[in-house]
Every structure is written in structure tokens, then in C-alpha cells.
Structure 1
């Protein structure tokens, strides 16, 4: 009995989603294809009917993860009733929730260090997706791209440090001061 129309595309989407969650939490190098396929509820034997190699999956997972993050940030901005929408974006990005739920978080702080040692293909996709994030931040804040790049870099760096320390008070303090200074940057 043949699969219904769109089945292969749906399965591919499940694999990409599983990979994005796994990469966000554990990085690229430490995640195997069988682990990703298991997370999608599939056996690893079917991987190559959807992707040429793991690099292709990494590239598509980066696209998916950035789109997912942009959607969450857009939703946060739309819920902002008073004040600049960028404040809601900053509050969400530098929240305890975003810090703690890595599998649903932004891929930029999760993978930047690893991406720098990846193939040109992956680095190119990551660069394009980073540019999408910069454009989003710049547009929603009403600032130029240079300032948007700085703001995003500040937010990503703050999140990396807040996730890295084992002192919860320090981590919370980093998030709080990051929010305060990120918002001040936009107001100047």
C-alpha cells in the first residue's frame, strides 16, 4: 500500500525538527544520525532516502531552528501592548525559560563555536541565517544593521554565559544585566 501524498515531506520535517532539537541541546559533533532518527520515531536506515549526508541535515536544521526562533520572537513582539516591541524580544531572548529550555532555544548560542569549525556549506547557511536574525532584530528595533548586529551579539553572548555558569544567582544576574543594557542600547 503506497504512502499518502506528502508523507515523505512530513517524515523529512520530523527528522529536521528532531535534529534541530538535538543540536540545540548537545551540539553537532556529539549527535549521531541514529540518535536523530530515534528522536523522530524512525529507524536510522531511512535517513539516506531523505538526506545525502549529515552536513545537509545540519544546514536544514539551522534554517529550521532560526525560523522557529524568529517565530517565537515575533509572537513575543506581537504580545507587547505598550513600549517598544524590541523590549519584549529582549525579555524573551534573555529569559530564564530561554536559558533553560535549550532544545527549543536559539541555535546561535548553541552552535556558534562548532560552526566555526564546520564545512563551508554549513558556515554559509549559518551566515545566511545569522543575517536573517540581524535583519529581524534591526527591523523590530528600528535601528541600523550595525547596531542590530551589536544588539544580537550582546544577547547571544549573554545567553551563552548565563547557560555556562553553575551558579544560578550569577546566571540570573547575567540575564538581568543583559536585558537592562540591551534595552538601554536601543534607547540611545
Structure 2
């Protein structure tokens, strides 16, 4: 019996979503194709009917994860009545919740170090997605690209450090300091 129309696209989407979750939590290198496929509720044998290789999946998972993050941050901003809405995004991005929910959080803090050692193709996708995130922040904050890069660098760096330490108080202090500095960038706009 043949699969219903759109089945292959739906399955591919499940694989990409599983990969994005796994990469956000564990990085790229340590996550195997069987692990990703299991997370999608599939056997690893079907992987190559959807992707040429893991690198192709990494590229699509990065694109998916950034679209997911931008959508989430836009939803956070849309719930805020006060201006500037970017402050709500800053508070969410540098919250204990976002720090701790790695499987659904922003992929940039999780993968930036690893991506720097990846292929040119993966780095190009990551670069394109980073520019898309910067454009989102620039539009939301109504600031130029240079300041938006500084703002996003503060967010990512603060989150990386907050996740890196094993002292909860120190971790929270990185989040608080990052929120304060990020809002200073917004105020100086």
C-alpha cells in the first residue's frame, strides 16, 4: 500500500525537528544518525532516502532551528504592550527557562564553537542564519545592524557563560549582567 501524499515531506520534517532538538542539546559531532532517527520515531535505515548525508541534515536543522527561534521570539515580543519590545525578548532570551531548555532554545549558543570547525557549506548556512537573526533583532529593536550585532553578541555570550558554569548563583549572575548590558545597548540607540 503506497504512503499518502505528503508523507515523505512530513517524515523529513520530523527528522529535521529531531535533529534540531538533538543538536541544540548535545552538539553535532556526538549526535549520531540513529539517535536522530530514534528521536523522530523512525529507524535509522530510512535516513538516506531523505538526506544525502549528515551535513545536509545539519544545514536544514540549523535553518529550522533559527526559524523556530525567531518565531518564538516574535511571539514573546508580540505579547508585550510596552516599548521597546526588544526588552521582553532580552528578558526571555537571558532567562533561566531559556538557559535550561536547551532542546528548544537558540542554536547559536549551542553550536557556534563547533560550527567554526565545520565545512564551508555548513558555515555558510550558519552565517546566513546568523544574518537573518541579526536582521530580526535590528527590525524589532529599530537599530542599525552594527548595534544589533553587539546586542546579539551580548545575548549569546551571556547565555554561553551561564550554561558553562556549575554554580547556579554565578550562572544567574551572568544572565542578569547580560540583561543589563543588552538593555544598555538598546538605550544607547
TM-score range with shorter-chain normalisation?
A: over 0.9
User: In the alignment, what sits opposite 1:22?
Assistant: 22
Report Cα offsets for 1:107-164 as digits up to 9, x if no partner. Answer: 0000000000001110000000000000011110010000001100110000000000
Report Cα offsets for 1:39-82 as digits up to 9, x if no partner. Answer: 00000000000000000000000000000000010001001111
Q: Distance in 1 between matches of 2:5 and 2:146?
A: 45
Q: Which moved more, 1:75-84 or 1:29-38?
A: 75-84
User: In the alignment, what sits opposite 1:143?
Assistant: 143
- C-alpha deviation, 1:83, in angstroms: 2.3
Query: Which blocks of at least 5 consecutive residues in structure 2 are unaligned?
Result: none
Runs of 4+ in structure 1 displaced over 6 angstroms? none
User: In the alignment, what sits opposite 2:64?
Assistant: 64
Kindly indicate whether residue 124 of structure 2 is the aligned counterpart of residue 124 of structure 1.
yes
Kindly indicate whether residue 94 of structure 2 is the aligned counterpart of residue 94 of structure 1.
yes
User: In the alignment, what sits opposite 2:73?
Assistant: 73
Query: Which blocks of at least 5 consecutive residues in structure 1 are unaligned?
Result: none
3-state SS of 2:41 partner:
coil
Report Cα offsets for 1:27-50 as digits up to 9, x if no partner. Answer: 000000000000000000000000
Q: TM-score when scaled to structure 2?
A: 0.99
Q: Distance in 2 between matches of 1:74 and 1:31?
A: 29
User: In the alignment, what sits opposite 2:111?
Assistant: 111
Q: Following superposition of structure 1 onto structure 2, how do residues 36-75 of structure 1 map, counting pairs within 5 Å?
A: 36-75=36-75
Q: Distance in 2 between matches of 1:22 and 1:121?
A: 20
Q: Distance in 2 between matches of 1:186 and 1:83?
A: 11
Q: Distance in 2 between matches of 1:117 and 1:184?
A: 32
User: In the alignment, what sits opposite 1:167?
Assistant: 167
Q: Distance in 1 between matches of 2:72 and 2:30?
A: 27
Q: Distance in 2 between matches of 1:58 and 1:105?
A: 16
Q: Distance in 1 between matches of 2:153 and 2:82?
A: 25
CA RMSD, 1 decimal: 0.5
Q: TM-score when scaled to structure 1?
A: 0.99
Q: How many residues align?
A: 188
Q: Distance in 2 between matches of 1:82 and 1:142?
A: 15
